[in-house]
Structure 1
């Protein structure tokens, strides 16, 4: 069943997001006033090395007032492919240049209320190029054994949706001997 959008207008917006008001018709014919958020799309990277470690950042998210480990990630800029954005974010946020990036997983974290697409890539190598150029992203950048990730998730040391999806897909690939 498909919903029909009769009209969509912006209620509020800025450079990152747009809160939208939609006049939609549900499959049963009823029309309702619906609200949604349109966000820029996001790219992230699971960067691993030959020692079975993953590159993670320890950061504070002020909206939830929580410290947690996250993948390097950020918004896809106009004219940039998701893979280019993922590579740029890894370099800016960690000071490491990822090797070849391959698509790992795609997700839409809250498709009923927002349209943000999350593209996660995987690189199996990285080269240190210097200090991170983005100074507001994390307190620590560390290579953490991929095998430690399930316990970190259990302890809620990893809570970001895109990070969870990316790391769990990487672990699944490792478990199944794929990729």
Structure 2
């Protein structure tokens, strides 16, 4: 069943996030105001691997959840910016490693029932160390981890960031199976 949208009004807006009330009719329920969170920029994540099969991760604190955890390099694509270019820029800024090849693995809508949060996840190979990270606020540590260690991190809740969890799980599962 398809919802019918009659209109919308913005409740809050910033360059980072917008909150809207959409006037919709839901079949079988009726007409309601539905809260919608919109993101003006697209989100990109990456699984950076090296020739040893290791994966590059960032150890960082997230003040909203109050948790430390391992994450993949990620960031926003500016309006009109190629998302593959955006993730290459983010990887270098956050880690000091310049990507070689950047290949789209998958894309998905993280919270399709309430948000337009759209993520693209890339596999980055051939990275070359070009210096220290440009933004020292991104991570307390940047380390290469074996695939076995990444699986342990995923299953022990040490990767709690949703986009990182999705990118790593997709890379270790469907992506690797499809690429043979």
TM-score interval, smaller chain? over 0.9
Aligned-CA RMSD value: 1.4
Alpha-carbon distance in 2 for matches of 1:146, 1:154 = 12
| 1:6 corresponding residue in structure 2 | 6
Residues 112-158 of structure 1 show CA distances to partners (whole Å, capped at 9, x for unaligned) of 11111000000122001111111211000001112211211121110
Residues 88-131 of structure 1 show CA distances to partners (whole Å, capped at 9, x for unaligned) of 10000000011111111112111111111000000122001111
Alpha-carbon distance in 1 for matches of 2:11, 2:21 = 6
Matched, 1:135 2:139: no
Equivalent residues in 2 for 1:29-48 (5 A)? Answer: 30-39=30-39, 40-48=41-49
Alpha-carbon distance in 1 for matches of 2:85, 2:4 = 34
Normalising by the residue count of structure 2, what TM-score does the alignment of the two structures yield? 0.94
| 1:164 corresponding residue in structure 2 | 165
Aligned residues: 179
Equivalent residues in 2 for 1:1-179 (5 A)? Answer: 1-28=1-28, 30-39=30-39, 40-173=41-174, 176=177, 178=179
Cα deviation for residue 159 of structure 1 reads 1.1
**Structure 1: tracts of 5 or more residues without a match:** none
The verdict on how the C-alpha distance between 1:20 and 1:2 changes in structure 2, with shifts beyond 3 A counting, is same
Alpha-carbon distance in 1 for matches of 2:6, 2:61 = 41
Alpha-carbon distance in 2 for matches of 1:174, 1:6 = 40
The verdict on how the C-alpha distance between 1:175 and 1:117 changes in structure 2, with shifts beyond 3 A counting, is closer
Cα deviation for residue 28 of structure 1 reads 2.7
**Structure 2: tracts of 5 or more residues without a match:** none
Q: Does the 8 A contact of 2:105 with 2:175 survive in 1?
A: no
Normalising by the residue count of structure 1, what TM-score does the alignment of the two structures yield? 0.95
